[in-house]
A and B are shown apart, each in its own frame.
Chain A
Amino acid sequence: MGAYGAVIVGGVMTAAVVVLLSSAAPRSDAVFSDITAEAGITWKHFSGESPDRFLPEAMGGGVALADFDGDGLADIFLVTGGETPRGRAAAPPQNALYRNLGGGRFRDITAGSGLARVGFYGMGVAAGDYDNDGRPDLFITGYPTSALFHNNGDGTFTDVTAKAGVANTGRWGASAAWIDYDRDGRLDLFICNYAKFSFEHGPHCTYQGEPTYCAQTAYEGDAPALYHNNGDGTFTDATQRAGLAQLAGRALGVVSIDVGGDGWPDLVVARDASPNLLLLNRRDGTFRDAAADAEIAFNMDGNARAGMGVDAADLDGDGWPDLILTNFNDEGHALYLNNGRFPFTERTLALTRPYVGWGASFLDYDNDGAQDLLIVNGHLNRVIERTRRDVFYREPPLLLANDGRGSFAEARAAGPAFARGYVARGLAVGDIDNDGDADAIFTRLNDSPVLLRNNVGQNAVWIGFELEGTVSNRDAIGARVTVEHDGRRMSRWITSGSSYLSSHDKRVIFGLGGSRPASVTAEIRWPNGRTQTVSGLAPGRYHRIVEPR
């Protein structure tokens, strides 16, 4: 059971709309239940896997959770791969748009939405309201182009790529993030470009005669792209000006968040066998890579790991966003604690060493106030099981519980999905049933996604926020919300990108544990730098807060 929304402008409650929801299925004791089938999600990803083993076949695809139709419920958008020269589909591969009907049910509304087919090999998705019209638009990455779709608000989308000038032509786009890096109130676009690639000249590898996907080092890394939003539906390529053009490397994951604490959004980029990037915003339209100073660029031997997914959140309550970067098997997924100074403290998660990690997201699954961690895994090559005994092609997701000080252990009773192996890739987190806890959906290569409903978070006290920028970008991407409860100060950021190829529900939830306060005070630092304090907020519901002008 849950509640949606009190609308607050400028710290004064002006309206309250409470939407009561009920779940269709009985709740399980497990943290998460796989409700994919009962939700009506039947779409399957198509990778175009072929004897050529072109690397893109093993890398997709993304998923977005966002309320596309403005009904207060998070909908789902899924990105398919595509056909390859020798990997053909019986029917043309399609993306999927699922409308959230409430009650844990979804309806496929792809047909007629304009999103079914994009004309290129699809990879990831970033949802963001680039024109501040109150409706989340979609940027879909892929090879050899990418595309921007404007949300028309009536269930349809219009391809505005050509007008916007964000086709990213000739490049292999992976994750993307919306970021208002110059704080002009409009969302700009950062794209991770993975590597130079061609279906004509791909490297080919085998193991005992069987085709396999080659190691990433066989592909030359590409530079990221940054497009500045001109505010008129067009964008300008600002990569060179921002100082990013020389940062060639195999970029896969990105999260936009204020790492440095100065109120300006930075970028953390996970790169595959290329040094990770920590792009600190210099507030003049340029970035400085501080990953080496932070000691997140390399492992302790000075070698770049196979960074795939990334996320950021305050794990130890010190107000600074800490980081997770997922890596290849044997490397361990790397956790970095940000203490407000360089270098960050690395706490690589030893238990993750057998896994190839992709999507990752911090979420407080039990609403105890500490940000836990969900990671989805899955190997690249089936032959891995013939070469060793401890690594598998299909790998289980990991739900790791935070003790509140940034130490993680496997969560108990995570659910049956966590005992199964998957070839998982993208992961998005959001509250699909508005009950105040984090649900999740992850994609699988050549398979249907897995929708996980959280059964436990709503049992604790919580409070949620949906921010609406007015001076700042309307999605309030870049905002920080801070809540104090039981002597604990908790901060959450509205980020973009994060995870892998995917896009989360942009609402933030604070778990308040077992004790219910009469009211909650929240401090909001808006993306434009101004701070607002809102008091008298009732727990157990979402509050929609509009930025004062």
Chain B
Amino acid sequence: MRKWLPFVVALLPLAAQTADEHANRAAEFVQSRDLKSAEAELRRAIEMRPSDPTLLTSLGGVLGMEGDLHGANGYLRRAVQLDGENPLLRRNLAANQWQLGQLHEAATNLDLLLKSNPRDGAAIFLRGMVADGLHDYTRCIELLESLPEVTTRKPEAAVALADSYYHTNEPEKARAILQPLAGSRLAYEASGVAIAAHDYETAVALLSSLRTPDAAARSRLALAQSRLEIERGNLPQALAMASAGLRDAPDSAELVMTKASLESTLHYYTDAVPSWKRALALRPHSEEARRGLARAEWEGGMKPAAIADFEEGLKEFPHDAALRADYGTLLLDRGLGDDTARGTELLRRAIALDDSLAEAHYRLGNALLEAGDLAGAQKELEAAGSLDSQSARVHFALSRLYRRMGRTGDADRERGEWQRLKAGEARVASTGPALGAVDR
């Protein structure tokens, strides 16, 4: 969670007269928000006194305010090199590094500050924000919660804290913190955190609170609404939302891919194909878009195009295991002799590329089970089970396998597990048209 923060530049009394004059004039320009003139004055001052850490950090601060974080970083670093004991200089450097995404460097500087003064509130705040960025969510919560009313005084902290709560499986706390941000300048940013955590309801509430949403906010609202409807099982409504969002943001790859994916799921293949093509145009090197396109073509009865796209994908993404798993699965589904051999080979290749791909193990295991290769099926299905123990169908396949192996007890146990997981699956009635097979 990085957010541009205006620097508090401390312009201290200056030793040399000419440099001081430039510095004083710079301070006046800063107060009148004339940053370009302030920068020019400070550069002149530094020409006169190049080793003055205060001047250097002041210029870094002004550059930061101008948005030139990289330019600022050099001056701030030089200032710290010249006066490593000054906490203000190190804090400014750490803040700039945080904003630049140099999180490890920022953490090092902030830890030094906290070591010498564990009660340095500004450092605690920054370190908390950096910890969130470094995915050290427990540390983020520990630090930010230690600052009284931090989320009121610094709403940015609320966003980081909510992000950490989501990641530590405390969504209720996250929602409670994000709720007051509705209607604030941070509502948009906060919605991003909620979307990343799949909390689309909160995201929709935050985005709907914006009084004058721009196109980006409207399209993000559409995305959140679409995904919320997906969660609710209302796929046609989700598709309508995604399509509406694309009217505001026709180049939003996320929306295009959501739309394409929904069209595929709803079996609207002739709609899905151009959507996936658009996604591929927006993200030419997206393995997901290539895969989605080829799948939609296949399932929409455009098999020559699908095969061409899959083959193209195999060349373009020689290490994409999921693409091979998808292609192999579809070939196996067709149930023709040559296709079966190639499908099996592709699944084996997918597993060789990524042994953690539960889907590939499952598909290959099922194919071997159908072919009567019980030992081979056992290896693959048990691998799938250890990678994805919550997959109902893996337990179903293991039950079938063990029954054939005469391991009745194991078969019954797996069937029980399948039944338990199946019963737990969302029982949301589909309201989509009857166009193709649905998973039940």
Contact = CB atoms under 8 A, between A and B. Distances in A.
Interface of A: 203, 205-207, 212-218, 220, 273-274, 292, 295, 298, 300-306, 327-332, 343, 348, 350, 354, 380-381, 383-384, 386-391
A207 B433 contact: yes
Contacts of A327: 437
A388 B299 contact: yes
A343 B267 contact: no
Given A214-B431, A302-B393, A273 B438 contact: yes
Given A217-B440, A350-B336, A381 B431 contact: no
B418 interface: yes
B366 interface: yes
Interface stretch (B197-205, B250-258, B315-323, B395-403): B395-403
Contacts of B392: 302
Contacts of A212: 433-435
B431 A218 contact: yes
Interface stretch (B73-81, B110-118, B268-276, B348-356): B268-276
A306 B438 CA distance: 9
Interface in B52-83: none
A303 B440 contact: yes
A304 B440 contact: yes
Nearest to A220: B429
Nearest to A383: B433
A220 B429 CA distance: 9
Nearest to B404: A343
Of B303, B418, B436, which is in contact with the most chain A CB atoms at under 10 Å from its CB? B436
Contacts of B400: 295, 300, 343
Contacts of B376: none
A36 B299 CA distance: 36
Nearest to A299: B437
A215 B301 contact: no
A306 B400 CA distance: 21
Interface string B266-293: 0111110000000000000000000000
A329 B335 contact: no
A389 B300 contact: yes
A96 B185 CA distance: 72
B334 interface: yes
Contacts of A301: 393, 396-397, 439
Contact of B434 (A213, A220, A302): A213
A217 B98 CA distance: 51
A451 to B, nearest CB: 29
Interface in B412-440: 415, 418, 422, 429-440
B366 A300 contact: yes
Contacts of B271: 387
Nearest to B301: A390
- A-B CB proximity, top 8 nearest: A390-B301, A302-B396, A350-B335, A389-B301, A212-B433, A388-B300, A330-B437, A215-B434
A205 B432 contact: yes
A435 B434 CA distance: 42
A388 B301 contact: yes
B9 interface: no
Interface of B: 236, 267-271, 299-303, 334-336, 366, 369-370, 392-393, 395-397, 400, 403-404, 415, 418, 422, 429-440
A205 B270 contact: no
Given A207-B268, A304-B440, A348-B335, A389 B434 contact: no
B429 A218 contact: yes
Contact of A381 (B299, B434, B440): B434
Given A300-B366, A306-B437, A389 B268 contact: no
A214 B438 CA distance: 12
Contact of A328 (B366, B370, B431, B436): B436
A328 B437 contact: yes
A292 to B, nearest CB: 7
Contact of A215 (B270, B299, B430): B430
B429 A303 contact: no
Given A302-B392, A348-B335, A389-B270, A214 B439 contact: no
B431 A330 contact: no
Nearest to A306: B437
Contact of B300 (A205, A303, A390): A390
Contacts of A213: 433-434
23 contacts: A203-B431, A205-B431, A205-B433, A205-B434, A206-B433, A213-B433, A215-B432, A215-B434, A217-B440, A218-B431, A274-B440, A300-B370, A300-B396, A301-B396, A302-B422, A329-B436, A384-B435, A386-B270, A387-B267, A387-B271, A387-B300, A388-B267, A388-B300
Contact of B435 (A273, A331, A332, A381): A381
Nearest to B428: A217
Given A350-B336, A387-B270, 6 more contacts: A205-B434, A212-B434, A302-B422, A305-B437, A328-B436, A390-B301
Contacts of A274: 440
Nearest to A304: B440
A371 B236 CA distance: 44
Nearest to B367: A300
Nearest to B362: A301
A275 to B, nearest CB: 9
A218 B233 CA distance: 11
Contact of B236 (A206, A292, A350, A380): A206
B279 to A, nearest CB: 19
Contact of A214 (B303, B395, B415, B433): B433
Contacts of B415: 292
Nearest to B394: A302
A203 B234 CA distance: 13
A329 B396 CA distance: 23
Given A205-B431, A213-B433, A330 B302 contact: no
Nearest to B303: A390
Contacts of B432: 205, 214-215
A205 B440 contact: no
A331 B437 contact: yes
Contacts of B396: 298, 300-302
A88 to B, nearest CB: 24
Contacts of A205: 236, 431-434
Contacts of B301: 354, 388-391
Contact of A303 (B268, B334, B434, B439): B439
Contacts of A390: 300-301, 303
B398 to A, nearest CB: 11
Of A303, A329, A354, which is in contact with the most chain B CB atoms at under 10 Å from its CB? A303
A541 to B, nearest CB: 42
A262 B376 CA distance: 36
Contacts of B335: 332, 348, 350
A388 B393 contact: no
